[in-house]
Structures are given as C-alpha cells and as structure tokens.
Chains A and B, each alone.
Chain A
C-alpha cells in the first residue's frame, strides 16, 4: 500500500473543529456531518477539517494527545520499554503530519510537537527494524507485534511477509526431501506480496 493510501484511510478519523460559518447538516456517504454553527464545536472527518481550514472557515481543535507534556511522556516510555507502547492514536503519524502541515497555528507549540513526534517515530522505527530482524533470525513459528500503527505496519509490509514466505519455502522442502525420493512435490502455490505495496 502506498503511504498516500494509508493517509487516505487515516483521514476518516473524526476531529473536532470550531466553524466560523453557519450551515445545515451535510449528508455524506459515510454519514451526516454538522450542523455547523459559528463558534460551536462540532466533529467532522479529518479531510473535511483540513479542507475547511484551508478555506479559513474553521479552527481545528487539536486532539488531546497532541501536547508537549503527554508526548514527552510517551517518548520516555517508548525509550524505556523493550516493546512497542500503545500510541494515543492508530494514525498518530498521519494526523500529526496533516494537522501540523496546515493548521500549525491551531496547535500550541507546534514546532516542539513536531520534533517530539519525529523522535517517537524514529525510536519506533528503529525498534521495528531490530525486531523484524530478530523475528527472522530466530524464525520461530510465530511472532507477536503489538501496538503498531498503520504507517509502521505499512512500512514493513513489502519486505517482511515476502521474506517469511521464502523462509517457509526453504523449510517446508526439507521434510518433503527427507521423506522420499519423489521430487514432484506439491509445493504450496504461493504468491508474492511484493507487488501489493
């Protein structure tokens, strides 16, 4: 999956805005949104919030987790913990990127937050890489990844399943080879994940 596609999926997340205009309910396929009353908070999908913000028709109320204190705490936890910690949002990276991109004036201390989130991302990516490597090295029958977010899963998607698939193929052949002399073994018909990315 493209990162852009992941972003598209992430944009369905609801977020609270304070509109500066009046309007009735907007009927969308995904559900009704509104009504909009000036200076009364209402919840809209992220993509709509971004769009309204770009037209200067609303103020975005940043998600609760998007403040320096909480993010610092998460970062410290992430550093200490050997495993992945739970992130406040499944799409934290997407939300952060979109909100800090177009509505940085609505987020207090946007620059600090930007830096911290990038730190968290880096730490988690480093963890991810080393654990992927460990999984392959040990190649046990299963592994558990908890608390990964959409973007992170997406980033290892093309390589991990494919590599595991290959290991599986190398392993499965041993038994077949040892059992008998027959070579016309029914291999599992498998498809590569590589082009799914």
Chain B
C-alpha cells in the first residue's frame, strides 16, 4: 500500500534518473579549456567551439542555464518534425518502446529547449491518443506478453496498474458460488456491445 513517489524531480526516482541519463545532441558555443577528452574524435586538449556532442540531459540542463550558456541544444530526432508527423498520423500504431523508453519523461525535460511548443503538443497528443489503447489492453486481459513490449515505461506502469485492478475485479465477480452472468444468448449475440456503444458515443 506504500505510495511510490515517482515523479521528477525526485531524488529517489529511478525512472527520473534513467530518463535524465538519455543523451541529446548539443553544440558548444565557445572554447572550453581542458575538456578535449569529452570528444573522442580528437586529441586536442581544449574543446573547440562548434563541436557537436551528445550529452546527457542532466548535464545539458546545467550547461545551457543562466546568462552564459555554454551549449546550444538541438532536439533529439524522435522529437523532430518527421517523427512528430508519424505520431500525429496514428500514435496508436507506433512502437513507442523503440522510440525511447522514456519518451514522456524525456520529453518533459526536452521541451524546455523547444521554444515553439511542438514537443509539448505532441506529448499530450500521443498520450491522449494512446490512452484508450492502454485501457483496452488492460480490460481485455490478453495474456500476450508482446503487448507490453510496445509500451513506453510510463504507459507500461499505467497498464499494469489497470490490469491488476481488472483482474481483481474479475476475480471478485466470479468468486462467489453464484456468478452474475449474462445469458448465453446475450453473450453469443455479438452485435450487442456495438449497439450499446452507438447510443453512448
């Protein structure tokens, strides 16, 4: 029954730590002395201005802060135009797991670098669109392990919570001797659900 505090910035949140570990591309605006070892492709002692490196989010946040930002950030490709178009087309068909394990968490950090707010919009859009799918998956308890492999971390957690609740509820419904159940005729009559939905929608 313990509450688990899971959201950023939480010192103890493993997910937050892992999400901020993701790397994003950024460009150095000025020379940085003695940091040449960050760039494996050169042997120079100093890091030259204009170098493009992939740095973890936690570092970038500090570097790009304040008046004298040292780096200029770019969006990781999964948040760029072409990928956003894919998500807009049909977010449900996308394997978010392959995009990034921490698509939403990372997005929340990334969008501070995105002035136009596109990232913000696509995060919301994706989540809302895919929510129905998660709910459906959880309710029609398919014991198919591949289902979860297509979900992002946050979605996977939602899914398993919903799935647990669903299983418990189903167990409760059938546990007593007398099961409340629809008549056989009704169960076999496949159109029934669709008809009800029409009324509701």
Q: Which residues of A contact B (CB under 8 A)?
A: 2-4, 7, 79-80, 82, 93, 96-98, 100-102, 104, 110, 114-115, 117-119, 121-123, 126-127, 129-133, 136-137, 139, 151, 154-155, 157-159, 162-163, 166-167, 169-171, 173-174, 176-178, 181-184, 187, 189-192, 194-197
Contact = CB atoms under 8 A, between A and B. Distances in A.
Contacts of B1: 195-196
B128 to A, nearest CB: 6
B199 A101 contact: no
Interface residues of A, dominant DSSP? helix
Interface residues of B, number: 59
30 contacts: A3-B168, A79-B196, A97-B173, A98-B176, A100-B178, A102-B178, A126-B196, A129-B139, A130-B201, A151-B169, A158-B165, A159-B158, A166-B104, A166-B154, A167-B124, A170-B108, A170-B120, A170-B127, A171-B124, A173-B108, A173-B111, A173-B120, A174-B111, A183-B61, A184-B65, A187-B7, A189-B5, A191-B3, A195-B2, A197-B164
Contact of B181 (A114, A139, A181): A114
A194 to B, nearest CB: 4
A-B residue pairs, 4 tightest by C-beta: A3-B172, A101-B176, A159-B162, A158-B161
Contact of B4 (A178, A189, A194): A194
Contacts of B145: none
Given A115-B183, A159-B165, A197-B164, A101 B177 contact: yes
A129 B135 contact: yes
Interface in B136-170: 138-139, 154, 157-158, 161-162, 164-166, 168-169
B8 interface: yes
A131 to B, nearest CB: 8
Contacts of B173: 3, 97
B51 interface: no
B183 A133 contact: no
A192 B180 contact: no
B117 interface: yes
Contacts of A79: 196, 199
A117 B178 CA distance: 13
A155 B186 contact: no
Interface of B: 1-10, 61, 64-66, 104, 107-108, 111-112, 114, 117, 120, 123-124, 127-128, 131-132, 134-135, 138-139, 154, 157-158, 161-162, 164-166, 168-169, 171-173, 176-178, 180-183, 186, 193, 196-197, 199-201
B161 A159 contact: yes
A93 to B, nearest CB: 8
A10 to B, nearest CB: 11
- Residue from the set B161, B196, B201 with the largest chain A CB neighbour count within 10 Å: B161
A30 to B, nearest CB: 23
Contacts of B112: 173, 176-177, 181, 183
A132 B161 contact: no
B24 to A, nearest CB: 13
Nearest to B154: A166
B110 to A, nearest CB: 10
Contacts of A151: 169
B165 to A, nearest CB: 5
A187 B200 CA distance: 38
Given A4-B172, A157-B165, A166-B104, A177 B178 contact: no
B135 A133 contact: yes
A187 B9 contact: yes
Contact of A117 (B164, B168, B180): B180
